[in-house]
Structure 1
Amino acid sequence: MRNYDLEFLKRFSLVLAFLALVTLGLILFAYYLNTKVVHTQDPAIQQRLLARIAPVGDVYAGATGAAAQAAAAAAAQASLLANIPFDGRTDGAEIFNNSTCTGCHTAGIGGAPKLDAAGIGARLAEQGIDTLVTQAINGFTGSAGVMPAKGGNPALTDEQIKATVEWMVAQSK
């Protein structure tokens, strides 16, 4: 080997060693900064994480468990009732007058039977109350139009629909 080749190798080795030391220094500095910076977590991400790792069920044991189970059942029932229109009341007149029922059945829109002997009274005579309630709950497609399930308000309970149909039938007499 020639002298200038050895000189180049020495300098090149020194440059590589210097770059390796700079890289190591930058890595250590980044690690130091990462340990000093406080990372704030988004509350939405935290909530999704907690929802993912939440237990599937609950275990209730003994007297304390029975009380906790009763409280959980009451909370679940209250949650269900919170989404039911009219607070779960089954007053047919209130439901008819304050929901989508009155829009079609008052004017006979789309073939909806009116609240008289020729309308809902005739349907009652032909089909019976059970059929009318079933059609009101599940929806009905007739020759003159379509009635959506639960009158277009799926939040109503079956008991509320039944009470409303019974009230409508009572008005036709």
Structure 2
Amino acid sequence: MRNYDLEFLKHFSMVIAFLAAVTLGLILFAHHLNGTVQHAPDPAAKQRVLDRIAPTGEVYAGATGAAAQADALKAAAAAAASQVAYGGTTDGKTIFGNLCTGCHTSGAGGAPKLDAAGIGARVAAQGVDELVKKAISGFTGSTGVMPAKGGNPALTDEQVKATVEWMVSQSK
């Protein structure tokens, strides 16, 4: 090997070593800076933590607790009343026209139609009380599925009962 080749390799090795040292220095400096910077907490993550550790209930004790419990029950009843479907009406025809007609008029999904062969046959075989129970809690049969409360959980049990009774009266 010639003398100038050795000289080149010597200089090239020193440049590579210098670049490696600079790279290592930059990595260590970046690591140090990352450790000193304060990161702002993510508000969404903080809210998720607060939701997970929130208490699930309240304890009412003594006269003050009884008054607080009564207020909480009133507030819950008012909130539930505002969420009742169709304004709380128990008119079976209105509820049927807005919710049930989609399946029970066409027989979709095995739903019995409003005639003697459909609802009428089910009433004769099971009785109105059993139909009301299945309409409230839902039912999976061999021909299809009846979702609980017709798929509208905002209906009250009284509304479902009134609708089933209306449907039975129409099937005769």
TM category, shorter:
0.5 to 0.7
Which runs of 5 or more structure 1 residues have no equivalent in the other structure? Answer: 1-22
Q: CA deviation at 1:91?
A: 2.7
**Counterpart amino acid of 1:113?**
P
After TM superposition, the score normalised by the length of structure 1 is 0.60
Which residue of structure 1 aligns with residue 21 of structure 2? Answer: none
Q: CA RMSD in A?
A: 3.4
- Once the two structures are superposed, residues 78-127 of structure 1 have per-residue CA deviations (whole angstroms, 9 ceiling, x without a partner) of 4445554335443322221111x101212333443322334322332232
SS in 2 for 1:120: helix
Which residue of structure 2 aligns with residue 11 of structure 1? Answer: none
**Structure-to-structure mapping, 1:100-115, within 5 angstroms:** 101-115=100-114
**Counterpart amino acid of 1:150?**
A
Which residue of structure 2 aligns with residue 150 of structure 1? Answer: 148
Which residue of structure 1 aligns with residue 77 of structure 2? Answer: 77
After TM superposition, the score normalised by the length of structure 2 is 0.61
Q: CA deviation at 1:130?
A: 1.6
**Counterpart amino acid of 1:49?**
V
Note closer, same or farther for the CA distance 1:103–1:63 as it changes in structure 2 (3 Å cut): same
Which residue of structure 1 aligns with residue 163 of structure 2? Answer: 164
Q: Between the two proteins, what is the percent identity of the paired residues?
A: 58
CA distance in 2, matches of 1:159, 1:85: 11
Q: CA deviation at 1:52?
A: 3.2
CA distance in 2, matches of 1:42, 1:82: 35
Which residue of structure 1 aligns with residue 67 of structure 2? Answer: 67
**Structure-to-structure mapping, 1:1-173, within 5 angstroms:** 40-81=40-81, 83-99=83-99, 101-137=100-136, 138-142=138-142, 145-150=143-148, 152-153=150-151, 155=153, 156-173=155-172
Aligned length: 141
SS in 2 for 1:98: helix
